[in-house]
Structure 1
Amino acid sequence: MTSNNSYPLHECVFRDNLKQLSILLRSHKYDIAQKDIHGNSPLHLSVILGHKDCMHLLLAHGAPVKSKNVHGWNPLAEAISYGDRNTISLLLRKLKQQSRELLEQRRPQLLQLLTDLGDFYMELHWDFQSWVPLVSRILPSDTCRIYKKGAQIRVDTTLVDFSEMKWQKGDLTFLFDGTVTAEKSLVFLDNESKVYQRLSYEQSDVELEEEVDILMSSDIVTVNLSTKPITFNRSQSGWLFRGDKRELVGSFYADFYDVGGVIIESRKRREHLSDEDIQRNKSAVESISKGSPSVDCFPTQRRPSLPRPPESVMTWEEYSGAERGRALTLLGRPQISKEMRKMFKATVAMSEDFPMEVTDLLNMLEVLTSMKHFNKLRDFVQMKLPPGFPIKIDVPVLPTITARVTFQAFQFRDNINPAQFTIPSDYRENSSRFRDL
C-alpha cells in the first residue's frame, strides 16, 4: 500500500485544499509533473474532480498538459469527459502553448543540425494498409519529394492530413524556412488552387472553439505502442537453401528483419457523447469504408457544457492505496470505454549504405511534426533499431491502419534552386485552407 505522504501535491488537489497547494508550489520543493501510482499528475486530478481553482493554480506554475496516466489519458482527455467547455478550451490552448515553447527551445540546436547535414534531395513512399476488410482498397498512398538546402526544407506531397474520419489530399507543398522568424517559418501551399497558408503558432478564438466542438463531438482516443519486449530477427528467403534476406531497396542494399513483440494498445471513451453523436460518427466512418470520406461530419453549432459528473465518494486514502490503475475508472463521469490490443507484425529493412544517419532523419522529422503521419514515423524510428538506416519500415498510424514507408532515393546536391523554398508570386494567402493544422 502506498504511503499517503508520497504525493503531497496530489493530496492537496484531491482534498481541494487550495491554500496548502499554493504553499507547496511556492516552496519549489515538489515536482509539479510527478505522477502517482495511477500515472495521474496533480493536474489530472484537478480536472477529473472538477477542482478548478487548483487547476488554474497548477497551470499558472507550468503543469504539463501532455502528461499521460497509465491508461494513456492526458488532462485534456479527462476534461473532455468531464464536459466543461471552458476547461477544455483552456487546456487545449495550454497544450499548444507548451508544445510551441518546447519546439522553440529546440529551435537553435535543430537549425544548426540541419545546416551541418548538407543539402539533399530525397523521395519516400507511403503505402497505407489495413487489416479491416475492404478498407485497404480506398486508403491513400503518397510519394513525398523532399528538398533540403541549408536550414530550409521543401516537401511535395499529395497527403497532408489523415485520420479515421477524413483525409486531405491534393497537390500540396510544405515549406520550412529556418532563416526567418518562427511565426513565418512554416507554410503550406495548395498548388491546385494556388493559395498558401502560414502555419500559425497562435490559433484564433474561432478556430480554437471549432476544435473544441470537434473534441466534444468525438470519441476520446489514445493509442500507445508497447515496445518493451520488441525483437528483431533476420528475415529468411529462398526455398531449398534458405538464408538471411538481403535485397536492393531503390539503389541501396538492405538487410531485412522481422519485428516482433510490438503491441498496439488503443482505448476509446464516449461517456460524453449523445446517441446522436455516436450515430453521426458511425455514419462518417461508414462513408469512408465506401470510398467517400466526409469532411463535414460535425455539427456547426457550439456545444454546451455537460452537467457535472456525480461527486466521487472515494477518499484520498482509498485512491492512493488502490491497485495501480484501478481507481482511474472510479473517479469522474462513469466511463463508457472500449479497449483493443493487437500484435503488430512488421518488417524493417536496414541499410548501412544509405548516406543519412537515423539521428539526421529524426532531426528532419521534428520539423515535419505538423503532418501527423510524419510524427508517427518519428515516434517509431526512435526505437532501438538494428544497425543501419531504416530504408523500408512498417509504421502503425491508427489502431487499424499501418503505413509502409520506403525511402526510394537519396542524393546529396549542391545545386538546389533557392526559388523552390519561396512562395510563388501568383499565389494568394488563404488562412483557412488547412483548417486542421
Structure 2
Amino acid sequence: MAAIDVAPYSHSPVHEAVLTKNYAALTKIIAGLPRLIDPSKIRTESASIAEEAKADAISNVIDRRDVPNRDTPLHLAVKLGDTAATETLMLAGADWSLQNEHGWSALQEAICNNEQHIAKIIIKHYQPTAWAKWCRRLPRLLQTMRRMRDFYMEITFQFESSVVPFISRIAPSDTYKIWKRGANLRADMTLAGFDGFKIQRADQTVLFLGDGSEKVPPGSLCMISHKDKDVMNALDGAGAAASDEEVQQEIQAMSQANMFRPGIDVTQAVLLPQMTWRRQEKTEFVGIWRAKVYDMQNVVVSIKSRRVPGAKSENELFGDEKETNGEEFNDILTDEEHKQLESALNNGISNSKHRDIPIEDGFGYGNEDNKNDKSKSKSSQRKDIGKDGSRESEYKKGLRPILWLSPDFPLHTDEFLPLLDILANKVKAIRRLRELLTTKLPTGTFPVKVAIPVIPTIRVLVTFTKFEELQPLDEFSTPPTCHDLPTTTSSSSWFQWIKTPYQNASSSTSGSTPRIEHVQDPFVIPADYTWITAEEKKKKMQEKRKSKK
C-alpha cells in the first residue's frame, strides 16, 4: 500500500498514532480515556446513562471519522495490515461496524483486502464489545419501556401489484401481533422477511423478557419456533469471545461470496402532501385514525458490491439463481400465471442483475415512478479500490414511499423506535421499517400506514390496524373459572389467563374495541416446548438444508 500523507490526519491523535505506528502514543491516549465499569454491574437507569456518556466520550476519540474517506483509526489499521494497532483498538472498544465514506466497515475492508489475520482479530473481539454495549444500554431501555403504556398492537404486511393479479397467493399477507407489558415485549409473525421477491416464512415468536423468567435473566431475547416447538435464548453466550473454530468459520463464510452493502439514505428525505383535485391536502381514514397522505421524496436506496478475492463472481451466483427461478411457485400458479410473474420480475429485477447487484433483504429498491428517470437509471458505476485491484460496483435508485401520518395514534414515533430496535435484531422486515422511520416526521404524527415499492411493479403496504391499551394486571387478581375460558387449541399449555381488551384477529381490525375478552398471557413460555442452545439450533438448520438438497 502506498504511503499515506499524515498531514490530513494530524488533528486526530489516534489516526496519527496509527499511521506513524507510534504504539506508545496510542497506548497513552487510550490509557487517558474514561474507564468503564464491568457492564454486568450496571443495574440502574442512572448508572446506564452515566456509562453510555463515558462510552460516547471514548468513541469520540477512538472512532473519529472527520478525516479523508471518513476512515476510523481501525479502518487505517486494517489498510496498513497493522495487527498490533488493530488489537489495541479492539481491546479499547473500537466500533468495527462503522462505515467509511464508501460504506464499508473495517471487517469488510479486511475481508476484501485478503487480510485474514486482521479479520480474525476483529471477529474474536467484536462479540464482547457488542455485548458490553448492550449491557450498558439495557437498564435505561427497561425503564423507558416500564414508563410506556401497556398495549396490544397489530401491524399488517400486505403485497399488492397493478400487473400481477395473483400476488396475494404467492406473497400472502401477514399480521404481526405485538404485546407490550412492563418491560416485556412479544411479537408473533409468519413473515420473517423478503429478499426482493423471495418471501421468507417462519411461524415464530420473538419474545423479549425485560423482567426475566425462571429460565432466563432479565433482558433476554427468546426466539420461539412453533413448528419445531423449541425455544432459544438468542443472547445466550453473546458476551463470550469467539473460539478459533468459530472465527475461521465466519471468515470462510464471508469469503465465499462477494461483499454487498445495502442501505437506505433518508437524510435528504422530504415529505410533500398529496393533493386532491380541489388542491386540498388529501386525507384518509386508516382504521379509526384520520391521516394525511404524503409522498416521501429524495429517498435513495444504494446497493454496493465489492469483489472478495477467491469468491464466486456475481454471474456465477446469479447463474445458480436463474436455474431455480420460479420453482418455489410450481404448486401454486398455473402456466399462464407463471408467464405473467416471469414477465413482471424480468421488468423489475433483471436490469439490477446485469449491474451485478443482488436482490437484497427488506424493502428492495425499485420504483415505478422513477423508471423513466435517465439520470438515475445510469447511476451504476464501477471503480478500482483496494490494494489488490478489487472492483466495486454501486447501484442507486430513487425510492418514493407513501406515508399516511396521523396525529391521533396513541404512540409517538420516538416511543416506538426502541421497541423496533429490539425486534429488528432478528426480523429483516422490521429492520427495513425501522430504517425508514428514522426520517424526521412532523411533530405529533405517527405513520399509521406506509407503502413501499419492492420492485417496480410490486409494493408492500405496512398498516397499523389495531392499538389497544392493556389494563393493569392487579385489576385481574381473581383467576377466571374454566367456564370463562374460550375454546383452546393444543397449544393451550402455553399460557396463564388474564383479561385484556384484545379482540380476536378474525374480528374487525379497525382500531380499538370496548369488548373485553379473556386472552392468553403472552409472556409465559410453553411447558411443552424444548429449550435449545444456539449451537443446537444451528445444527438443526444445517440438517434441514441438507435434507432439502
Correspondence 1:35-434 to 2 at 5 A: 35=65, 36-127=67-158, 141-163=173-195, 168-180=200-212, 185-202=220-237, 205=243, 209-238=248-277, 241-275=278-312, 278-286=314-322, 289-290=325-326, 292=328, 331-370=386-425, 371-387=427-443, 388-394=445-451, 403-414=460-471, 415-416=499-500, 419-431=521-533, 432-433=536-537
> For 2:14 and 2:316, how far apart are their aligned partners in 1?
41
Report how many residues are paired.
399
Q: Judge conservation of contact 1:164–1:285 (CA < 8 Å) in 2.
A: no
Q: Judge conservation of contact 2:259–2:308 (CA < 8 Å) in 1.
A: no
Q: Which moved more, 1:48-57 or 1:329-338?
A: 329-338
> For 1:400 and 1:208, how far apart are their aligned partners in 2?
41
Q: Which moved more, 1:216-225 or 1:356-365?
A: 216-225
Question: Which letter does structure 1 place at the counterpart of 2:405?
Answer: M
What CA deviation, in whole Å up to 9, does each residue of 1:171-211 have, x standing for no partner?
Answer: 21111110126577111111122122221353664665444
Shift of 1:286: 3.2
Are the structure 2 counterparts of residues 216 and 164 from structure 1 closer, same or farther at C-alpha, using a change threshold of 3 Å?
farther
Question: Which letter does structure 2 place at the counterpart of 1:56?
Answer: E
Secondary structure of the 2:309 match is coil
> For 1:400 and 1:57, how far apart are their aligned partners in 2?
50
Q: Judge conservation of contact 2:154–2:467 (CA < 8 Å) in 1.
A: yes
Q: Does 1:34 align with 2:34?
A: no
Residue in 1 that maps onto 2:489: none
Q: Judge conservation of contact 1:66–1:95 (CA < 8 Å) in 2.
A: no
Are the structure 2 counterparts of residues 396 and 112 from structure 1 closer, same or farther at C-alpha, using a change threshold of 3 Å?
farther
> For 1:98 and 1:166, how far apart are their aligned partners in 2?
34
Shift of 1:163: 4.1
Shift of 1:396: 7.7
What CA deviation, in whole Å up to 9, does each residue of 1:359-405 have, x standing for no partner?
Answer: 22112112212223222222221211124111112458899997532
> For 2:264 and 2:389, how far apart are their aligned partners in 1?
26
Secondary structure of the 1:256 match is strand
Q: Judge conservation of contact 2:157–2:462 (CA < 8 Å) in 1.
A: yes
**Superposition TM-score, scaled by structure 2 size:** 0.64
> For 2:454 and 2:255, how far apart are their aligned partners in 1?
23
Q: Which moved more, 1:121-130 or 1:249-258?
A: 121-130
Between 1 and 2, higher relative CO (CA 8 Å, sep ≥ 6) is seen in: 1
When you count strand as a share of all residues, which structure comes out higher?
1
- For structure 2, list consecutive stretches of 5 or more residues without a partner in the other structure: 34-57, 330-382, 472-498, 501-518, 542-549
Q: Judge conservation of contact 1:249–1:391 (CA < 8 Å) in 2.
A: yes
Q: Judge conservation of contact 1:188–1:198 (CA < 8 Å) in 2.
A: yes
Secondary structure of the 2:522 match is helix
What CA deviation, in whole Å up to 9, does each residue of 1:316-368 have, x standing for no partner?
Answer: xxxxxxxxxxxx95543322111111111111100111111112211211221
Residue identity (%): 27
Residue in 1 that maps onto 2:50: none
Q: Judge conservation of contact 1:377–1:395 (CA < 8 Å) in 2.
A: no
What CA deviation, in whole Å up to 9, does each residue of 1:411-435 have, x standing for no partner?
Answer: 1122345732122111113334468
> For 1:165 and 1:207, how far apart are their aligned partners in 2?
32
Secondary structure of the 1:411 match is strand
> For 2:141 and 2:18, how far apart are their aligned partners in 1?
38
